[in-house]
Amino acid sequence: MSNKSQHDMTADMSGRNDAFTDFQFQKDDRKLIIAFISFSFIAIFLGALAGALQLLQRSGWIQLPSWLTYYQLLTAHGVLLALVFTTFFIMGFLYSGVVRTLDGKLTPGERKLGWIGFYLMATGTIMATITILTDNGTVLYTFYAPMQATPWFYVGLALLIIGSWFGAFGMFAAYIRWRKNHKNETSPLFAYMAVATLILWLHASLSVAIEVVVMLIPWAFGLVERVDVTLSRTLFWYFGHALVYFWLLPAYIYWYVNIPQIVGGKIFSNSLPRLTFILLILFSIPVGFHHQLTEPGIESFWKFLQVVLTMMVVVPSLITAFSIIATFELAGRSRGARGLFGWVKKLPWKDARFFAAVMGMIIFIPAGAGGIINASFQLNQMVHNTWWVTGHFHLTLGTSVLLTFFAITYWLIPVLNGRTFTKTLNKLGIVQAGMWTIGMLLMGGVMHIVGLLGAPRRTSFSTYGDHELGLTWLSYHQVIAAGGVILFLSIILLLYIWYNLLFVAPKSEKTIQYPIGVINEQAEHPPRILERWSIWIGVSIALSFIAYAIPIYQLIVSDAPGSLPFRSW
């Protein structure tokens, strides 16, 4: 097949004739973005391998060698996927869209901030990974005190977080520069959303940085003897729930900004997506207690208040569902679709950049409903710390967000290095997304069921003394393990596609388009107040203060005895 016909194929798949434009990334910007993205690919491979092995051990399919424990693998899986893969990938993706929409290139200073971030994050990742491999950091990715890892595990994590701040500063600088040069203009939607995501990230990760740098590192070096366990957990979850929105918002960016172009439609509104992101900043932080509902030391009133605040995210989620479906329907109708649902058939189902993301969107409906159950005060008791919860975030992060990220790579790598996402690769991409969806439904779906029966999360193989219930759980584990095997095969296929896109696929003669949706002509200008960040940062801090000030004050003055360190693995 000649290069030319492949171009046409890509153009056809996108449903538009203007799939090629003149925009090209500067070589130096390209390097930075590719560095972030490639690093994330290594992390996802190692993390997925660890995930598959621990699952097979838990289900009784394999036994691990004496030098490798279940909990080491579980720690590696969580750190490398939930913390490392996500943060690197998101930095790369956000940088790409920020460069694309803010005058097409970074200044040397902005780029330098990005590189400082990259190297700090990479150093931190390597440090943490070594401590996990040597069994000195087997505390899982939530690292609850008073289990104490080597100090270098915490230093590694601190570098990962602080590094990401430099990445964020680079993008803030680009945004401020653009605002100066374009007075009285509405900022591009992608850049606006990237800034919102990073403000959320900065606010939330400040809390875990305080936990790690002020509490855990001095304690791990032996400078202080004891640590306040509940306070450290509270600081972790101040960060921990916002972390899941930090994963989700870049997926929302793709759904709101990029996909409309891929389906040949238009962005439905220029204001509602911005409002959505503001609401998500406000209601993703003062909600961490819904992870601590069954915990002592926090009064029930504050737990309930945070449950109410948690549920506020239902509103932006409903706005998002409406907007995305409206975009798809209008796109389908503009291509002559008839009847109530005729537009569904007009969507580019055979385009992996669409198909993978849409599978993620569909799964997000039941997954989000499960999330409402988790956060529902009394209902939480039925599922807290069972495998249900693991199932929940494997359907949300592991499916909705990850499938969207996979879809992003299918055009982002070609845009960056000029290689074509060929017809064959596109087919493989659809197979990959299909396998991922089936694997996750088996694994995550059955985790929900066995979790309702009480099976705990994060637990090595056990028959619980051959108790009837323990043996019932094990029978479900077999299906979960089968789902895990399908997922691992899907990752291997994904790596094959990425390898081709990075090094093998034919070079395109023309520039490949970075898909940025056009805003619907009827959409009105967004109200100026949505761009006045100081107001929203202020409201975000105020809400967090209301939700957290008194319970944290109570934890500090009540002076529960601190804990000595333990190495119980």
Residues with a known catalytic role? 241, 245, 392-394, 457-458
> Coil, helix or strand for 421?
coil
Main-chain dihedrals φ then ψ at residue 555, nearest 5 degrees: -60, -40
Q: What is the DSSP string of 193-246?
A: HHHHHHHHHHHHHHHHHHIIIIIIHHHHTTSSS-B-HHHHHHHHHHHHHHHHHH
Which range binds other proteins by CB under 8 A, 171-179, 255-263, 399-407, 459-467?
459-467
Task: Tell me if 462 contacts other proteins by CB under 8 A.
Answer: yes
Cα gap 504→497, rounded to integer Å: 10
Task: Tell me if 60 contacts other proteins by CB under 8 A.
Answer: no
Main-chain dihedrals φ then ψ at residue 350, nearest 5 degrees: -90, 10
> Is-contact 552 231, C-beta < 8 A?
yes
Task: Tell me if 524 contacts other proteins by CB under 8 A.
Answer: yes
* Residues facing 566 on adjacent strands: 147
* Cβ-based nearer residue to other proteins, 415 or 555: 555
Main-chain dihedrals φ then ψ at residue 69, nearest 5 degrees: -105, 160
Task: Tell me if 385 contacts other proteins by CB under 8 A.
Answer: yes
Task: Tell me if 434 contacts other proteins by CB under 8 A.
Answer: no
Task: Tell me if 454 contacts other proteins by CB under 8 A.
Answer: yes
Task: Tell me if 380 contacts other proteins by CB under 8 A.
Answer: yes
* Residues facing 563 on adjacent strands: 227
Residue 565, amino acid: P
Task: Tell me if 24 contacts other proteins by CB under 8 A.
Answer: no
Burial track 305-333 (b if 16+ CB lie within 10 A, e otherwise) = bbbebbbbbeebbebbeebbeebbbbbbe
Task: Tell me if 422 contacts other proteins by CB under 8 A.
Answer: no
Question: What's the N-to-C CA distance of the chain in angstroms?
Answer: 56
**Minimum Å distance from CB 171 to other proteins?**
26
Which range binds other proteins by CB under 8 A, 20-28, 31-39, 477-485, 555-563?
555-563
Task: Tell me if 377 contacts other proteins by CB under 8 A.
Answer: yes
Of the candidates 248, 278, 246, 490, the one whose C-alpha atom is nearest the C-alpha of residue 361 is: 248
Q: Within 197-216, which residues bind other proteins (CB under 8 A)? A: none
Among 24, 123, 186, 376, binds other proteins (CB under 8 A): 376
**Minimum Å distance from CB 323 to other proteins?**
8
Q: Tell me how far CA of residue 508 lies from CA of 9, 322, 339, 408, 435, in angstroms.
A: 12, 36, 39, 18, 29
Task: Tell me if 520 contacts other proteins by CB under 8 A.
Answer: no
**Minimum Å distance from CB 99 to other proteins?**
29
| Integer-rounded Cα radius of gyration of the chain | 23
Cβ-based neighbour number of residue 224 at 10 Å: 12
Which range binds other proteins by CB under 8 A, 24-32, 100-108, 125-133, 383-391?
383-391
Residue 342 DSSP label: H
Task: Tell me if 20 contacts other proteins by CB under 8 A.
Answer: no
Among 366, 445, 456, 506, binds other proteins (CB under 8 A): 456
**Minimum Å distance from CB 373 to other proteins?**
11
Which range binds other proteins by CB under 8 A, 154-162, 171-179, 354-362, 453-461?
453-461
* Cβ-based nearer residue to other proteins, 206 or 321: 321
Q: Within 320-359, which residues bind other proteins (CB under 8 A)? A: 322, 326
> Coil, helix or strand for 532?
coil
> Residues in contact with other proteins, total (CB under 8 A)?
76
* Cβ-based nearer residue to other proteins, 145 or 248: 145
Cα gap 78→70, rounded to integer Å: 12
Cα gap 259→410, rounded to integer Å: 13
Cα–chain center distance at 111:
23
Main-chain dihedrals φ then ψ at residue 544, nearest 5 degrees: -65, -35
Among 13, 56, 121, 140, binds other proteins (CB under 8 A): 140
Q: Within 215-254, which residues bind other proteins (CB under 8 A)? A: 228-230, 233
> Is-contact 408 254, C-beta < 8 A?
yes
* Cβ-based nearer residue to other proteins, 139 or 191: 139
Q: What is the pattern of x (binds other proteins, CB under 8 A) and - over residues 266-285?
A: ---x-xx--x----------
Among 5, 17, 107, 294, binds other proteins (CB under 8 A): 294
Task: Tell me if 458 contacts other proteins by CB under 8 A.
Answer: yes
Among 178, 295, 495, 510, binds other proteins (CB under 8 A): 295
* Cβ-based nearer residue to other proteins, 434 or 456: 456
